[in-house]
């Protein structure tokens, strides 16, 4: 791959770039379709850029529902008819605790899935509902998960297969907060959100622990803006919702949102 193209990516993204290049070459050389596992938004961005650079490849993405974050991508030779939804081979599961008095969080379900040997790329979005959690996954893994996942955080669970539309769509509920910051630098905003010292947030950014809009951030002085999604490893996500003006001391007043756990 050309060096001038690789310079736009981080070194740790090289393994995925190589894999994506192999997918594209397969479609080009064989003239066949290629279905990926579930990709995160950054991986989808990389794949789109590579396909656009090479040309002759059409991409279609599907995460099981409109607005999905993680999606499977179907690559096919340009000019072919758009794929049917069934070609993405997506399944849906409802994971429900046995009993009404258990309180399980997203991280509990995620940990349980990984514990039984499900690779992260084999399932898409996972969200909690009033009675348990909903899971989008590769259809070929649905039977395995149904048999193997018997507990979540030591709580017995029942796993039921669902058809598309038979379940509650995810809704993002945000706890809103107002913060003041001296600037819109990434390290400054994060320091007020967490709250921690700017030295600590700067250290985390340089260590690759912070993402801005799903892309790893590397510069503490990177400017953020309203609409950005920031995520810190071990601390969760933060949405920049609104810039509300200046305080008497000249600091920036921001309205931010933190998703409910």
Predicted confidence at residue 7, as pLDDT, reads 61
Residue 229 lies in a domain: yes
Residues 79 and 11 in one domain: yes
Query: What confidence tier does 8 reach under pLDDT thresholds 50, 70, 90?
Result: low
- Which of helix, strand or coil describes residue 242? strand
- With pLDDT > 90 as the criterion, what percentage of the chain qualifies? 70
Which two three-digit tokens encode residue 133?
A: 């959690």
Residues 133 and 197 in one domain: no
Predicted confidence at residue 53, as pLDDT, reads 87
Q: Does 239 score more than 60 pLDDT?
A: yes
Q: Residue 183 carries which DSSP code? A: S
Contacts 24+ apart (CB under 8 A), 110-115: 111/153, 112/149, 112/151, 112/152, 112/153, 112/157, 113/145, 113/149
Judge if the upstream peptide bond of residue 127 is cis by omega within 30 degrees of 0: no
Residues 199 and 156 in one domain: no
Predicted confidence at residue 122, as pLDDT, reads 97
Residues 96 and 77 in one domain: no
Q: Does 45 score more than 60 pLDDT?
A: yes
* 59-103 pLDDT tens trace: 999 999 988 999 999 999 998 999 999 999 999 999 999 876 678
Q: Does 109 score more than 90 pLDDT?
A: yes
Residues 187 and 248 in one domain: yes
- The range of the structural domain enclosing residue 32 comes to 3-84
Rounded to an integer, the average pLDDT of 208-220 is: 89
Question: pTM for the complete prediction?
Answer: 0.79
Residue 74 lies in a domain: yes
What's the CATH code of the domain at 18? 3.30.1370.160
Q: State the chain's mean pLDDT as an integer.
A: 90
Predicted confidence at residue 50, as pLDDT, reads 92
Higher pLDDT, residue 237 or 187: 187
Predicted confidence at residue 76, as pLDDT, reads 96
Q: Does 3 score more than 70 pLDDT?
A: no
What's the CATH code of the domain at 135? 3.30.70.330
Number of domains in the chain: 3
Please say which residue of 54, 84, 114 terminates a domain. 84
């Amino acid at each position: 791959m050309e060096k001038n193209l690789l310079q736009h990516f981080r070194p740790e993204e090289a393994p995925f770039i190589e894999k994506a290049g192999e997918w594209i070459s397969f479609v080009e050389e064989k003239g066949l379709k290629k279905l990926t596992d579930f990709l995160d938004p950054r991986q989808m961005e990389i794949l789109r850029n590579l396909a656009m650079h090479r040309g002759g490849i059409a991409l279609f993405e599907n995460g099981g529902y409109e607005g999905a974050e993680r999606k499977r991508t179907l690559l096919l030779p340009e000019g072919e008819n758009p794929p049917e939804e069934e070609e993405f081979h997506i399944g849906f599961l409802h994971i429900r605790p046995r009993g009404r008095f258990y309180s399980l969080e997203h991280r509990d379900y995620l940990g349980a899935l990984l514990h039984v040997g499900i690779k992260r790329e084999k399932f898409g979005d996972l969200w909690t509902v009033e009675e348990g959690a909903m899971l989008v996954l590769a259809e070929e893994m649905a039977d395995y998960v149904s048999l193997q996942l018997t507990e979540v955080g030591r709580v017995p669970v029942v796993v039921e297969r669902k058809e598309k539309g038979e379940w509650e769509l995810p809704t993002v509920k945000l706890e809103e907060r107002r913060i003041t910051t001296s600037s819109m630098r990434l390290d400054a905003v994060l320091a007020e959100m967490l709250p921690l010292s700017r030295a600590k947030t700067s250290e985390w950014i340089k260590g690759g622990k912070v993402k801005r809009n799903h892309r790893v951030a590397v510069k503490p002085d990177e400017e953020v803006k309203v609409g950005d999604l920031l995520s810190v490893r071990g601390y969760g996500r933060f949405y920049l919702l609104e810039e509300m003006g200046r305080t008497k001391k000249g600091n920036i007043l921001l309205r931010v949102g933190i998703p409910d756990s």
